[in-house]
Structure 1
Amino acid sequence: MAGHSKFKNIMHRKGAQDKKRSAMFSKLSREITVAAKMGTPDPDMNPRLRAAVLAAKAQSMPKDNIQRAIDKSSAGEGDNYEELRYEGFGPGGVSLIVEALTDNRNRTATNVRTIFSKNGGNLGASGSVSHGFDRLGLIEYPAGAGDAEKVLEAAIEAGADDIESSEEGHAIWTAQDGLHEVAKALEGALGEPESTKLAWRPQTPVTVGEDDAGSLLKLIDALDDDDDVQTVWGNYEVPDEVMAKLG
């Protein structure tokens, strides 16, 4: 559930959060179980699991649910999930990267292809758009973590590579192999982040006009709604005035 927007201008999510809450928890649980299975069930020793747990906490997922998801890893669940990445194009020439966790790659591939085709997009070959993105670590803090100067100083001290601050919060970028260390250092200065994850950062953002924005948002929503899709990244920027017209 992500995109480029100063990272949030796509988080309009059409007011149906209660309806989507169960599906969101299911996706978070799946990531936690897979992360614990691939490493160790201790978040302090498993950076991917720690990031998954932080993401779950940021969405107010109950502690019991988080622990159950971790426990599933030792019970053998999560063995059949594989990570898949799809790349394609949306309305307005936007590039999209779709990350999925699935136990049936044929089902997921069919669903993703259908969603693209029904919503004005085209699914491309592997590598067709990812060359236009950088694979980096992303640590996000709410605006309440501090003003831009405070967060900038903390980010520099922690060894981060870049920071973007807005009224909505702070996005701190780092090399992917330094994500865990930078995140731990930032926690000492700013507290727990909203999220810590590997991300796809577009090299050249594309501004989407009113004619294409509605169709693009519909495509992204449809991808987000698929049970197997974990995250959607894109190189789009939707101007505030266009977002306001779309409601």
Structure 2
Amino acid sequence: MAGHSHWAKVRHYKVISDARKGKLFSKLSREITVAARLGGGDPDFNPRLRRAIQAARAESMPMENIERAILKGTGQLAGEAWEDVCYEGYGPGGVAILVQALTDNRNRTAAEIRSIFARHGGNLAGVGSVAWLFQKRGVVLIEGGEVPEETIWEAALEAGAEDIRASDEGWEVITPVEKLESVQRALESAHVPIQSASLAFLPQTLVPIEDPDTARSVLRLCDALEAHDDVQHVYSNFDIASDILAEEARR
């Protein structure tokens, strides 16, 4: 199974503690603030903000938290000056890893991310070292079973989707970056239940990891990176058997 979506599935299997939920809310708030700062506070005219709010609502984040984050982004409330940064590196088994973060101190975050890679058998690499192994795409996740498959295909493809893939939970609709918003709206108009819509880095090729110990080392590195306060998303091109992923999820 590939690192793009299936590591996220493993994470969802785990029980989320109050502390982890608080950290998740902090990361979601940070994304909302940056989206509002870059594109304005109206989600109808700011696709990034709209997606950030949808992600926050999907995690039951209180509306007052969402509104406060927007006000920080538009400058109506004081807040930190967050900026987007991306780190590239390699993990155990030679897997490529992309880390997206929001930080108010580039030097601090870079040093801490480098340390996480080193502690888990990986290494932080230079800009451009692994980014070429990924493609930036829109990904719409759809819950399965409620809408006929033909409805999903027709709405998504007519709106410009590139591919539609079956998953354990339903469907993944893959779009060009510039078509994500139109595909999402087309699916919503067709009354398709959307779980989430986001931009992601999809691996072009996968690295098989057959040794269980190496697989666990890769997953623990990804877990440690995701746990960092500044990290928003972790993408990798690992291909790990589902039984190993399931075992890790139970830990």
Q: Quote the residue 1:86 is aligned against.
A: 87
Q: Distance in 2 between matches of 1:127 and 1:193?
A: 33
Alignment partner, residue 243 of structure 1: 245
4+ runs deviating over 6 angstroms: none
Aligned partners of 1:5 and 1:237 also within 8 Å: no
Task: Give the corresponding residue for 1:129.
Answer: 130
After superposition, the C-alpha distances for 1:98-138 in whole angstroms (9 at most, x for unaligned) are: 00000000110011000000011111101110101111111
Distance in 2 (alpha carbons) for counterparts of 1:244 and 1:181:
35
Deviations along 1:177-225, one digit per CA (max 9) or x if unpaired, are 1211211111111446222221101000222221211111111111111
AA partner of residue 127 (structure 1): G
Equivalent runs, 1:17-56 vs 2, <5 Å: 17-56=17-56
* TM-score where L is the length of structure 1: 0.91
What amino acid does structure 1 have at the position aligned with 2:41? P
1:154 matched to 2:155? The reply is: yes
Give the distance between the partners of 2:83 and 2:40, measured in 1 at CA: 18
Question: Bigger shift: 37-46 or 66-75?
Answer: 66-75
Aligned-pair CA distance for 1:78: 5.1
Query: How far apart in 1 are the matches of 2:29 and 2:101?
Result: 14
Per the alignment, residue 216 of structure 1 pairs with 218
TM-score (norm 2): 0.90
Deviations 1:142-193 (A, max 9, x none): 2255354442233223221111112223211111112112111111114462
Matches within 5 A, 1:224-239: 224-239=226-241
Q: Which runs of 5+ in 1 are unaligned?
A: none
1:175-214 superposed matches below 5 A: 175-191=176-192, 193-209=194-210, 210-214=212-216
Amino acid at match of 2:195: E
Structure 2: where are the runs of 5+ without partners? none
> Number of aligned pairs?
246
Report the aligned-residue RMSD.
2.1
In the alignment, the residues of structure 1 paired with residue 215 and residue 127 of structure 2 have an alpha-carbon distance, to the nearest angstrom, of 25
Contact 1:99/1:230 (<8 A) preserved: yes
Work out whether 1:113 is the aligned partner of 2:114.
yes
* Residue 59 of structure 1 pairs with residue 59 of structure 2: yes
